[in-house]
Amino acid sequence: MANIAAQRIKREFKEVIKSEEVVKCAIKLELVNDSFTELKGEIGGPPDTPYEGGNFVLEIKIPETYPFNPPKVRFITKIWHPNISSVTGVICLDILKDQWAAAMTLRTVLLSLQALLSAAEPDDPQDAVVAKQYKEHPEMFRQTAKYWTFVYAGGPGKMPELDDKIRRLTDMGIQEDDARVALSSYNWDLERATEQLFS
């Protein structure tokens, strides 16, 4: 890794670890290897959102050209959000693309991602299915996002009625994750999800 990038990342890494604001916001950062090219981030789901109480793990890869180019960040923890792919965890956020500035830091990135969980941008989606649900069925979106937070991110809020629908599909031989995605995508309509899975 280029020297400038390595020095900068070391400094930012310390900044994140020592920041009180970061502790308060339930944000963590750790090295995956000692080369500072790969980091693991964690953000807590913000209060008063369907992600509250969840803990979301991020993969952060630092390019050789950092800080002149943004880090590559994606969600490892599955999440139901218009700007994050429910399949790959890829994120649609301007500062991770064309709005990046060399003055930005890892702290900025982590806090911006946490803010994105509070304020989705459904008109610039990464996941069109989630964005459509967010706009057309807001209550269903909240319930689904909360359920995914419970299942994948350790959040509160068991939902037996949704578990039951998943169980009905797994009893038909469908994988649990596939059943959850199909039901989530079809607003928990068991008939439509079943049609889609068996078509």
Indicate which residues carry an active-site annotation.
Answer: 92
| Beta-carbon-side half-sphere exposure of residue 193 (alpha carbons within 13 Å) | 24
How many CB atoms neighbour CB 112 within 10 A? Answer: 16
CB-side neighbour CA atoms (13 Å) of 160 = 0
DSSP strands (E only) in 26-185? 27-31, 38-44, 55-61, 72-75
| Angle of helix 138-153 versus helix 128-136 axis, rounded to 10 | 130
Q: What residue has token string 């057309």?
A: 136
Structure token pair of residue 186:
């079809």
**Phi (first) and psi of residue 135, to 5 degrees:** -80, -40
Instruction: Please report, for residues 151, 153, 166, 169, 182, the alpha-carbon distance to residue 177 in angstroms, rounded to integers and kept in the order given.
Output: 10, 14, 9, 11, 9
Q: Which residues contact 118 (CB under 8 A, 6 or more apart)?
A: 46, 48, 49
